[in-house]
Amino acid sequence: MQSRTLSRRQLAQLAGAAVASGGALLSAGPGALTARQVVERIQKNIGVPWQTQTVDTFKAGDPDTPVTGIATSFMATLDVLQRAAAAGKNFIVSHEPTFYSHLDETKDLSADPIFRAKLDFIAKNKLVVWRFHDHWHARQPDAIYLALAQLLGWEKYGVDKGQMLYVLPPTTLGALARDMQVRLKTQALRVVGDPRAEVSKVALSPGAAGPRMQMALMPKADVYVCGEATEWEGIEYARDTIAAGEKKGMILAGHQVTEEPGMNLCAQWLRTLVPGIQVDWIPAGDPFWMPV
């Protein structure tokens, strides 16, 4: 079997791939908005007070770079950055971290070859990466929850202002999971509980579900739907709930899968703020696959 280890030379070639593949970045016209000015428009129009303590900050690149185009995505993966650069979009709005931790702490990554390749790619292509997490969730209604409910066809079944509880037409846990799998176009959806169990009341928590939220919502629903949960916390709580005699279920659809639709909605919203700039959603893609 051939080794999959990348040499430093290969990593350097990877970092410069978009430059070598045609240099598709467009030049910004006279008077073009900078990335900083775009963020200022976001702050002015988001509809909630802007917090000083937030992860919604610039992560890489020069904020005063004129914007040639904007790409929104669940995460600024290297693949997303490559596709954005190839499409002439130099400002990437990412919902989740760019450098592998919630706060994008990079002080211990300086010698890591993957971190260097990603940072070099951003620099060589004059990209700017900004995170849009806290305030996009804080917007009312929460755009991440709203977009997922719309994609699942649940929007009309919501019963609370927090967009967490839905009363669906009666079905089984197995049928609900299969319908979600088709709508979300994911292979790696996982289910806890009896597939024959009848369900109607659903609690929805896209992204990463903390155990306290799960413990608060599961008693109100037949099935708890989330993106991901720590297996020795949330999964075990669900299993203990079922073992205690409750006819409950839990569906884990994936963090990226449940939050990516909200960044498509983000692109649509941003177009109204910067009509002179092309804004597109570039999905990061489901990272998982299932063996046949």
Give per-residue pLDDT as tens, 118-156: 999 999 999 999 999 999 999 999 999 999 999 999 999
Percent of the chain scoring above 90 in pLDDT: 85
For all residues of the chain together, what is the average pLDDT?
91
Q: Tally the domains of the chain.
A: 2
Do 33 and 80 lie in one domain? The reply is yes
pLDDT tens-digit series, residues 193-214: 999 999 999 999 999 989 999 9
CB 189 within 8 A of CB 253: yes
Range of the domain at 18: 8-139+260-281
Q: Could you tell me if 219 and 124 lie in one domain? A: no
**In terms of domains, do 240 and 267 share one?**
no
pLDDT digits (tens, 9 = 90+) for 244-287: 999 999 999 999 999 999 999 999 999 999 999 999 999 999 99
What per-residue confidence (pLDDT) applies to 14? Answer: 44
Q: Mark whether 135 and 147 lie in a shared domain.
A: no
pLDDT of res. 29: 61
Q: Tell whether pTM > 0.85.
A: yes
